[in-house]
Structure 1
Amino acid sequence: MAAMIFPLRQRTVSWHDPAEIRALARGKTGLEFLRAMLAGEIPPPPVAELVGMQVTEVEPGKVVFVLEPAEFHLNPNGVLHGGIAALICDTACGCAVTTELPPGETCATLEIKVNYLRPVGVGTERLTCTGTVLHFGRRSALSEAKLVDPRGKLVAHATSTLMLFPPEDPHGRPMTDLPAK
């Protein structure tokens, strides 16, 4: 019944094969990989295309992403869905850690804590999310993300613990666990 009363909106999303993106990362440090993405030499991952976020800055230990809130980002109350804020914060936290990784090493979020501080609607021009490494250890890292509106007001703050994974051999075994010759 609702579909007959309210017009249906549509959006088309295109993306690149994530396996091909991973292949382009081979042999690169995390910093080199993200800088190549920033330069347009490597396409963004599918999730970035889906949501519409873009990387705008990449430095050792720091990344910046932007997102322009759109109607499809909203919850039923007409404000940015908390999951979208968490997604961009998680991306910024993970990519900040990625800038510190040597070739072949990867990371994954173990835990993320997001504090939501103010609502954002469609009228907001552009949100900026800065991810920064707070601690980088042998097996894990700690990072934070600050999501701000165009006036610099904090919209959300996140902290994230990430696990670091060593490079793998062609059979998927960690290279650090290979027997010595």
Structure 2
Amino acid sequence: MAVKPVMTIDALEAFLAQEFPQINEGGPFYAVTEIEPGAAVLRLMPDRRHLRPGGTVSGPTLFALADLGAYVVILAHIGPVALAVTTNLTINFLRRPADGVPLYSRCRLLKLGKRLAVVDVIIVDKEGTIVAQASATYSIPPQTETAVK
């Protein structure tokens, strides 16, 4: 999908810091690293709070990375609509991610309509090995009612 982004990395980072400060509470864990037409990349630098027994990044952490990445790619293309919400997210865990290794949520818009957006998410490690794949659907409220000014 070749729709042009309407937000910069700096604008998205500022929005997330204002609306969702808890995602980076205790450290700079999440960062938007790329925005391009129809796509975005979100990086997670996991620490011990993101691990499960056995020393691997937990499933809930990977789920959150997929969900936040989908939110970022959508907002990058519609603007700062805080009340865009997940209506469905399905994730497939494919490989065990290593402890302490950055993970990247590579998100691609499949559909961006007035009321729904569908995103494909691939989570990779620093070598590009796919560790998870997700499909997310978001509900987009009317912008006149929910846009953050």
Query: Structure 2 length normalisation: TM-score?
Result: 0.79
Instruction: Report the equivalent of 2:43.
Output: 66
CA contact (8 A) 1:79 1:119 kept: yes
Residue 47 and residue 157 in structure 1: after superposition, are their counterparts in 2 closer, same or farther (change >3 A)? farther
Q: Which one of 59, 63, 67 corresponds to residue 86 of structure 1?
A: 63
Instruction: Return closer, same or farther for 1:81/1:154 CA change in 2, 3 Å cut-off.
Output: same
Instruction: After TM superposition, list the pairs within 5 Å mapping 1:10-89 onto structure 2.
Output: 31-32=6-7, 34-38=9-13, 44=17, 45-50=20-25, 52-89=29-66
Q: Give the partner amino acid of 1:49.
A: N
Looking at secondary structure, tell me which structure has more strand per residue: 2
Could you tell me which runs of 5 or more consecutive residues in structure 1 were left unpaired when the two chains were aligned.
1-29, 175-181
CA distances 1:92-150 after superposition (whole Å, capped 9, x unpaired): 111111222157685211000011011123243x2111111101122111001111011
Runs of 4+ in 1 over 3 A off after TM superposition: 102-106
1:63 and 1:110 map into 2 onto residues whose CA distance is 20
Q: How does 1:94-113 map to 2 (within 5 A)?
A: 94-101=71-78, 106-113=83-90
- Matched residue SS, 2:46: coil
Q: Which structure has more RCO (C-alpha within 8 Å, separation ≥ 6)?
A: 2
Give the aligned residue type for 2:23. Answer: A
The reply to whether residue 146 of structure 1 matches residue 128 of structure 2 is no
Q: Judge conservation of contact 1:148–1:154 (CA < 8 Å) in 2.
A: yes
2:96 equivalent to 1:119: yes
Q: Distance in 2 between matches of 1:74 and 1:104?
A: 31
Q: Which residue of 2 aligns with 1:164?
A: 140
The verdict on how the C-alpha distance between 1:110 and 1:97 changes in structure 2, with shifts beyond 3 A counting, is same
Q: Which has the larger radius of gyration?
A: 1
- Map of 1:155 onto structure 2: 131
CA distance in structure 1 between the partners assigned to 2:95 and 2:72 by the alignment: 24
- Cα distance between partner residues in 1 of 2:76 and 2:15: 15
Aligned partner of residue 130 in structure 1, secondary structure: strand
Q: Give RMSD over aligned pairs.
A: 2.6
Cα gap change, 1:109 to 1:47, in 2 (>3 Å) = same
Greater displacement, 95-104 / 159-168: 95-104
User: Which amino acid is the alignment partner of residue 36 of structure 1?
Assistant: A
> Percentage identity across aligned positions?
26
Structure-1 separation of matches of 2:7 and 2:56: 36
